[in-house]
């Protein structure tokens, strides 16, 4: 079995086990939940590690739960899956308040509701699950961040021939606008 298949099987087993936990707490779990690894769409300034899409967003009426590939440990993945399944169980309209918070706390999540962590009981439940199913069978994706450009180039253009060049504000201030190679006239910053 490939690592991808093992990872997906682990996620499916975790989903089934977590669903049983919801049922034991009196919640009805939608049967139309799919789970997979995927990079969640970023909203706001945060870096989401999981995301639940409403069933109405898919052509075959399934909730889509994505768990970020940057997560490495069984606890990280399991806790994120519980959080996202709370969204599917109570409905996405609840956001992270009211019914979501009540359900999340019952399921053993704690902390700030937008970035929950597993409490001791849920951690124990995850440990029981990993003893039976093994640890999460994949490493985490190391996301390379691209360094943001510190300077911006200004566009300079020759008013006669349209030749363009780009230069930093620093060099405009130090040496002035560049000279057009076609007619040796100073270019304008546009």
Sheet holding 188-189, edge to edge: 164-168, 153-157, 188-189
Q: For the chain, 190 residues long, give each residue's pLDDT as a single digit of tens.
A: 888 899 999 999 999 999 999 999 999 999 999 999 998 776 655 678 999 999 999 999 999 999 999 999 999 999 999 999 999 999 999 999 999 999 999 999 999 999 999 999 999 999 999 999 999 998 888 876 666 666 688 899 998 899 999 998 888 888 888 999 999 988 998 8
Structure tokens at 5: 């298949």
Can you tell me whether residue 154 is helix, strand or coil? strand
12 — phi, psi (to 5°)? -65, -40
């Amino acid at each position: 079995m490939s690592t991808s298949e093992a990872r997906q099987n682990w996620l499916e087993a975790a989903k089934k086990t977590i669903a049983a936990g919801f049922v034991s707490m009196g919640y009805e779990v939608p049967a139309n939940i799919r789970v997979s690894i995927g990079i969640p769409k970023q909203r706001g300034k945060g870096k989401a590690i999981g995301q639940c899409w409403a069933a109405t967003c898919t052509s075959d009426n399934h909730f889509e739960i994505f768990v970020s590939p940057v997560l490495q440990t069984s606890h990280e993945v399991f806790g994120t899956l519980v959080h996202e399944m709370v969204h599917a169980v109570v409905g996405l309209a609840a956001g992270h308040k009211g019914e979501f918070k009540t359900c999340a706390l019952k399921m053993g999540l704690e902390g700030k509701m937008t970035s929950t962590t597993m409490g001791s009981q849920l951690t124990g439940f995850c440990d029981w699950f990993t003893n039976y199913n093994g640890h999460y069978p994949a490493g985490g994706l190391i996301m390379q961040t691209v360094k943001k450009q510190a300077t911006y180039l200004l566009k300079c253009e020759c008013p006669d021939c349209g030749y363009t060049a780009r230069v930093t504000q620093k060099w405009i201030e130090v040496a002035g606008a560049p000279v057009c190679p076609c007619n040796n006239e100073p270019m304008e910053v546009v």
